[in-house]
């Protein structure tokens, strides 16, 4: 009887460990270090494998080291900021010439992305999404968007500013949402060549000094 109990206990422990490992693999911890503090993210590669792995590739290649958080704005005309956006393409926003993303380190766009599942893929406070090239291709670009208030017009199937395809959600903020809020309140008188972004570009963007998967923090 004691031997049987030990085997059952070992099986339960083993199952728990497997479940924990699976959960860990499904959500990748990423840290964004900024002068205002560290922002910790949980990237959901289980439910958004295409979009999440697309963005993680830029992090793993070190391309997000030195990127910026450069936009604070609202899609619904509300009194308080609805989102903060950043990434590699800050310089492209002020360009008066047609933009080639490759000139800014973006070698590929994500033409197709994961379809939202019921009750998932909703842009609500704390979620992290990816922006799209709305002026030309409509494809996803590796610019992250932090949602501070519910943004239903960014959800798939809801008619937004340009279409109803929505924007992929790749995870959520697990620590440092107050830093995102602080960034959202910074002065936004920066120049831009894109009319619908006027008044939303930070006068002094916030640098992402370093971006990395948390597990690799001690080895980089």
Cross-strand bridge partners of residue 212: 31
- For the ranges 21-25, 84-88, 112-116, 138-142, the lowest mean pLDDT is seen at 21-25
Does residue 94 lie within any of the structural domains?
yes
Does residue 9 lie within any of the structural domains?
no
pLDDT for residue 120: 62
For the stretch 134-181, pLDDT in tens is 888 899 999 999 999 999 989 988 877 778 888 999 999 999 999 999
Does residue 189 lie within any of the structural domains?
yes
Query: From CA 158, how far away is CA 171, in angstroms rounded?
Result: 20
pLDDT for residue 212: 98
pLDDT for residue 111: 92
Please state the rounded mean pLDDT for residues 116-122.
64
pLDDT for residue 15: 38
- How many CA atoms within 13 Å lie on the side-chain side of 131? 20
Does residue 18 lie within any of the structural domains?
no
Does residue 208 lie within any of the structural domains?
yes
Query: From CA 80, how far away is CA 65, in angstroms rounded?
Result: 29
The number of folded domains in the chain is: 1
177's tokens: 């949402």
pLDDT for residue 104: 83
Cross-strand bridge partners of residue 175: 40
For the stretch 198-219, pLDDT in tens is 999 999 999 999 999 997 443 3
3-class state of residue 126 by DSSP: coil
pLDDT for residue 119: 57
Nearest to 174 by CA among 16, 62, 44: 44
Residue 65: partners with Cβ closer than 8 Å, 6 or more residues away: 208, 209, 210, 211
pLDDT for residue 98: 76
Nearest to 58 by CA among 127, 116, 108, 95: 108
DSSP string for residues in 127-153: EEEEEE-TTTT--EEEEEEEESS--GG
Q: Does the pTM exceed 0.85?
A: no
Three-point CA angle 196, 188, 96, nearest 5°: 50
Does residue 19 lie within any of the structural domains?
no
Does residue 130 lie within any of the structural domains?
yes
DSSP 8-state assignment for residue 177: H
Asked whether residue 66 carries a pLDDT value surpassing 80, the answer given is yes
Domain extent, residue 43, equals: 27-216
For the stretch 8-50, pLDDT in tens is 434 444 434 333 334 446 899 999 999 999 999 999 999 999 9
DSSP string for residues in 26-70: HEEEEEEEETTEEEEEEEETTT-HHHHHHHHHHHHTTTTTTEEEE
pLDDT band at 220 (very low <50, low <70, confident <90, very high): very low
CATH code assigned at 98: 2.40.100.10
Does residue 187 lie within any of the structural domains?
yes
């Amino acid at each position: 009887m004691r031997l049987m109990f030990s085997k059952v206990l070992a099986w339960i422990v083993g199952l728990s460990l497997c479940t924990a490992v699976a959960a860990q693999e499904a959500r990748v911890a990423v840290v964004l270090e900024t002068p205002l503090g560290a922002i910790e993210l949980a990237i959901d590669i289980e439910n958004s494998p295409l979009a999440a792995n697309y963005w993680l590739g830029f992090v793993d290649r070190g391309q997000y080291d030195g990127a910026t958080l450069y936009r604070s704005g609202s899609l619904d005309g509300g009194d308080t900021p609805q989102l903060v956006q950043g990434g590699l393409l800050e310089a492209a926003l002020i360009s008066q010439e047609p933009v080639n993303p490759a000139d800014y380190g973006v070698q590929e766009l994500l033409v197709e992305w994961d379809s939202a599942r019921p009750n998932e893929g909703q842009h609500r406070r704390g979620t992290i999404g990816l922006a799209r090239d709305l002026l030309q291709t409509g494809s996803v670009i590796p610019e992250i968007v932090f949602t501070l208030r519910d943004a239903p017009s960014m959800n798939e199937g809801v008619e937004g500013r340009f279409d109803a395809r929505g924007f992929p959600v790749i995870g959520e903020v697990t620590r440092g949402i107050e830093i995102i809020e602080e960034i959202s309140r910074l002065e936004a008188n920066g120049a831009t060549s894109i009319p619908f972004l006027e008044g939303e570009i930070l006068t002094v963007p916030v640098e992402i000094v370093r971006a990395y998967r948390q597990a690799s923090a001690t080895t980089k």
